[in-house]
């Protein structure tokens, strides 16, 4: 499984756009990139998954360059409630039965 | 939105006791998982379950652990003889998208 590296922590202010970058130099051809969010004392929550280029949903955008060795999760106009740990994972496409390997994640702190 | 439920939300037990953590996954899903998170550490995979049997397990999931889906609805994790180091949040997941709220297990 490809290892991921992401910043340990980030600070932001309400209303700003936050970009969290993850590097995954050893990503395999069949690997997808998936991001999860976790609030304290809660289970991880799926945010977005992508394979290449750009994916957008109602919560976030995921930018993946052509070489796929990194990816950037973009959260538009964050609010205090976006304070959480964000995990970048690389592995199987959703719903294929694979396990998830979590790293330490990025602790995002949104300030007023 | 469908959700995964877990009971109890908190469990306190004495070392050496057996505990059963319960989960109700999403009914039409095929893959179920248990993960744990020790306080301040990362989320760790324990076991995956498909078609009424274990499909993969981690090194953490030793003989003290077992899982079953007794009635096609509940999905349980049993720890036969708890140790202090089993204290953690235990998360059930239904497919890889839907995690439950967790059970906080404290072993004294």
Interface of A with B in 8-27 (CB under 8 A): none
Distance CA A39, CA A44 (A): 7
Secondary structure class of A80 (helix, strand, coil): helix
Distance CA A79, CA B71 (A): 42
How many other β-carbons are positioned within 10 Å of the β-carbon of residue A13? 12
Output the pLDDT for position A98.
87
Which positions in chain B touch A44 (Cβ < 8 Å)? 43, 91, 99
Output the pLDDT for position A1.
58
The low-confidence residues of chain A, meaning pLDDT below 50, are: none
Question: What residue in A sits closest to B56 (Cα-Cα)?
Answer: A99
Output the pLDDT for position B72.
77
Residues A85 and A61 sit within 8 Å (Cβ to Cβ): no
Angle made by CA atoms A58, A15, A66, in degrees to the nearest 5: 55
Secondary structure class of B77 (helix, strand, coil): strand
Percent of chain B with pLDDT strictly greater than 90: 85
């Amino acid at each position: 499984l490809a290892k991921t590296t992401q910043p340990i922590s980030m600070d932001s202010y309400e209303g700003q756009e936050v970009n969290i970058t993850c590097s995954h130099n050893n990503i395999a051809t069949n690997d997808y990139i998936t991001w999860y969010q976790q609030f304290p004392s809660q289970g991880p929550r799926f945010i977005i998954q992508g394979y290449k280029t750009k994916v957008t949903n109602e919560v976030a955008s995921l930018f993946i360059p052509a070489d796929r060795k990194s990816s950037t999760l973009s959260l538009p106009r964050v609010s205090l409630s976006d304070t959480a740990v964000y995990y970048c994972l690389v592995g199987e496409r959703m719903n294929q039965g694979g396990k998830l390997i979590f790293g330490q994640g990025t602790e995002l702190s949104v300030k007023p | 939105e469908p959700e995964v439920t877990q009971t109890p939300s908190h469990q306190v037990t004495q070392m050496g006791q057996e505990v059963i953590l319960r989960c109700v996954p999403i009914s039409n899903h095929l893959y179920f998982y248990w993960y744990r998170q020790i306080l301040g550490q990362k989320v760790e995979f324990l076991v995956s379950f498909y078609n009424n049997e274990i499909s993969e397990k981690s090194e953490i999931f030793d003989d003290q652990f077992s899982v079953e889906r007794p009635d096609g609805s509940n999905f349980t994790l049993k720890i036969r003889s708890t140790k202090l180091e089993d204290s953690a949040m235990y998360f059930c997941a239904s497919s890889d998208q839907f995690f439950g709220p967790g059970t906080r297990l404290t072993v004294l």
